[in-house]
Structure 1
């Protein structure tokens, strides 16, 4: 990966297209699980989503392996996809981008008010 690709996000685009091409070969149940997992993990991504790429690669590999072995997505992921995604993102109550932005905003406001009041 070169600097220009990193700055422009071209590397992420290529990687994302490769994920989607791999996912297209999954059976319908596995593909539905892939779509749901992506939707549940996106709020835990950073601005670019770069931090999610290794996680998504691992999940897609797990689904591909399960399909190759003839196991269903439900059998591999369990009943609780929300819990599965929370565990991948760092556990129950994992911080998402809204939490990080809220903390930054609150810190900035507190700093400004501290300067005005003192």
Structure 2
């Protein structure tokens, strides 16, 4: 990664954070909880930039401009809202599960081969 890429990434992130700070307080609170949830669940797209988070801010800006509250946009179950957003995304949990399955299958194959 070049220095210029790092600088551009930081500029993009700062602009994103500034957009979040412009949201009404209830949206800021819900956004921060969504951000925490997504970082814990770990959709892989979060590595590639802020596209997913930026899309949420777009949605929140639109909701705020229509005079809706944050929970009117997301629904009262914010985790379910997040899960719906990332339902087709590969997560770190998926990768971990695949690795465990692979290791178990490899170990089972060794056991099976020894008993033959």
Tell me, yes or no, whether TM beats 0.5: yes
Residue matched to 2:42 = 44
CA apart distance, 1:69: 2.4
The alignment's TM-score, normalised by the length of structure 1, stands at: 0.72
Structure 1 stretches of 4+ with a deviation exceeding 4 A read: 8-12
Residue matched to 1:105 = 100
Q: What runs of 5+ residues in structure 2 fail to find an aligned partner?
A: none
Greater Rg by CA: 2
CA RMSD of aligned residues (A): 3.0
Identify the structure with bigger relative contact order (alpha carbons < 8 Å, sequence gap 6+): 2
Q: What runs of 5+ residues in structure 1 fail to find an aligned partner?
A: none
User: Paired residues, what number?
Assistant: 112
Q: Distance in 1 between matches of 2:111 and 2:80?
A: 44
The alignment's TM-score, normalised by the length of structure 2, stands at: 0.73
1:1-118 equivalences in 2 (<5 Å):
4=2, 11-42=8-39, 43-46=41-44, 49-50=46-47, 53-90=50-87, 96-111=91-106, 114=109, 118=113
